[in-house]
Amino acid sequence: MYYVFFTGTAGSGKTTAVKEFRDYLLDQEMDVAVVNMDPAVETLPYTPDFDVRDYVDAREVMERFGLGPNSSLIVSIDLLLTKATDIKREVGEIESNYVLVDTPGQVELFAYRDTGRTFSSLLVGDSKSVNVFLMDSFIAREARSYVSLLLLSSSIRFKLGIPQVNVLSKVDLISDKELEKLLAWGEGEDLLDSLGVVDDYSFELVRTLIESLEVPPIPLSSTNREGFDKLYAEIQRILAGGEDFV
């Protein structure tokens, strides 16, 4: 069994990508299940095989504790830890080869609180896993935002401690010219130039970041499945050393 987590900033397209990637794998007759780990999502475009809202629902938490939306989300995510054993048991009953895991809208709540790491290691156990990190290409068009998203990606890679694939999500929303620029940045080209004048600290930081880029972010669109073959190949390369694992 292989776990594929989808993380990224709020609205970066995780839920949509999970749905489309599941359908894409199903079209190839692969055995795939979907886990929703977002306690605050209202409607899902897919029917999850496991839904964390059966254990903790951010709406209920909001009403029960009289909290606003932000604090109820934090409390919900922390509450998940108290139900970890039950959740682990139920998710463990899934027998599909691939388990796609949709994570909470706000990546910092999932990745930077204990929940993220605990859940990713608990759910996964001895199975292999990979984290797909979505960088919203509409936001990444701006050089400073691109660098900030790369830094966020590194930070999450470090925090979760599992192999990661970066993708540029929603590329159908940007022009060919903008995409070309993003692809060049992904290869480490032109990024410093595009940033214009930066202080010494930023210069060194970006230089180090470019050097540490292993694989350039993969352009992806859940609208037209652009990049899905590439994403699949990259996930497969990481998980199974290039072997097919249908």
Segment contacting ligand GDP by CB under 6 A, of 11-19, 56-64, 86-94, 181-189: 11-19
- Smallest distance, Å, CB 86 to ligand GDP? 24
Chosen from Mg ion, ligand GDP, none, partner binding at 12 (C-beta under 5 to 8 Å by type): ligand GDP
CA distances from 74 to 79, 84, 147, 207 (A): 9, 16, 27, 35
Distance CA 37, CA 34 (A): 10
Nearer to Mg ion, 9 or 164 (CB): 9
Binding-residue pattern over the window 47 to 76 for ligand GDP, x denoting contact by CB under 6 A: ------------------------------
- Smallest distance, Å, CB 128 to Mg ion? 24
Distance CA 33, CA 127 (A): 15
User: Quick check: 8 binds ligand GDP (CB under 6 A)?
Assistant: yes
Site for ligand GDP in 93-152 (CB under 6 A): 105
CA distances from 227 to 18, 140, 217, 218, 220 (A): 14, 17, 11, 7, 5
User: Quick check: 16 binds ligand GDP (CB under 6 A)?
Assistant: yes
Site for ligand GDP in 164-203 (CB under 6 A): 169-170, 172-173
Distance CA 146, CA 202 (A): 13
User: Quick check: 15 binds Mg ion (CB under 5 A)?
Assistant: yes
Quick one: which of 138, 162, 219, 125 has its CA closest to 7? 162
Give me the residue label for tokens 């470090």: 158
User: Quick check: 157 binds ligand GDP (CB under 6 A)?
Assistant: no
User: Quick check: 14 binds ligand GDP (CB under 6 A)?
Assistant: yes
Give the residues lining the site for Mg ion (CB under 5 A).
14-15
For ligand GDP, the binding residues (CB under 6 A) are 8, 10-16, 105, 169-170, 172-173, 221-223
